[in-house]
Amino acid sequence: MMLTEAMPTVPKTDDTTSEEPKPEAPAYTIDELAAMTRVPSRTIRFYQSRGALMAPEIRGRVAYYGKAHVDRLKLIAQLQDRGLRVDAIRDFVKTIERGELDLAEWLGIERQMQAPWGHDQPRTVTESELYELAGTHRAGLIADLARARLVERRGDVYLLASPALLATAMKLEAVGIDLDTAAGASAILRKHLTRAVSDLVDFFVSRAKDGHLDVTNPDALFEAFRVTGIESVRLLFAREMEQALRKLLASGKVAALSARARKRKKT
């Protein structure tokens, strides 16, 4: 008796059978998009009007939005959190769409630019902590610090804008420079440094646009600029102060001021 092994049956194929239709991409009305992304309809329309959000697909009389619009709204929110205005976002996404900029690369640059240049961060302190940081418990200290805008009362605590500036002000007070004078000097420095920094940024941007500044490795560029920039300001300030004090000494004003101070003490 001969045993035969059953051959597996092969299903017949129908050449006329077409491929299964691909599922349609999700489509949302503007109200559905607003509910999904939690972005108001009027804001969505505003983004479209400014070119930051691409136009919807019109079917009949209804405008439909898809996944690309959802992703773009998320990106807009992220960029707004980083301080970009809508017009800047529009130009930014167009640059990405043209392949001139990689989003991940830009986010890396953004993180580098947002990195603090100093370790002096605002903090809230209690009254006892404030006295401890100041190194003195003299009468009227907190009122003087508030008037000099070094601290601000927030309920039961105090907002200390700059612990480092507080320490500097207290060192100056210890040698006879009152807090109002120290605050005035700080305001002068801040005024001129704000202008200097603004001019410096504009200068570097113009050099980069003209191709004189290599920005192909922004991480290394910003790190080097952070270190050398702070050191350069310190050196330039020291040099200018040396020259100014020498001129002041040569003018005889220091001797006159000292004599006047001694005279006031005697009277």
Q: Which two three-digit tokens encode residue 95?
A: 């640059």
Is 60 exceeded by the pLDDT of residue 192? yes
- Amino acid at residue number 79: L
Length of the chain: 267
The pLDDT tens digits for 62-89 are 999 999 999 999 989 988 988 889 998 9
Question: Which pLDDT belongs to residue 6?
Answer: 40
The pLDDT tens digits for 29-72 are 999 999 999 999 999 999 999 999 999 999 988 999 999 999 99
Is 90 exceeded by the pLDDT of residue 263? no
Look up the pTM and report it: 0.57
Is 80 exceeded by the pLDDT of residue 17? no
Q: Which two three-digit tokens encode residue 119?
A: 């370790």
CA distance readout (Å), 10 to 7, 13, 70, 90, 157:
9, 9, 46, 57, 81
Average per-residue pLDDT for the chain: 83
Strand order in the sheet with 151-154: 123-125, 157-160, 151-154
Q: What are φ and ψ of residue 62, in 5° steps?
A: -110, 135
Which residue has 């051959």 as its token pair? Answer: 7
Write the DSSP symbol of residue 55.
P
Is 70 exceeded by the pLDDT of residue 112? no
- Bridge partners of residue 64, in order along the sequence: 57
Write the DSSP symbol of residue 139.
T
Contacts of 6 (CB under 8 A, 6+ apart): none
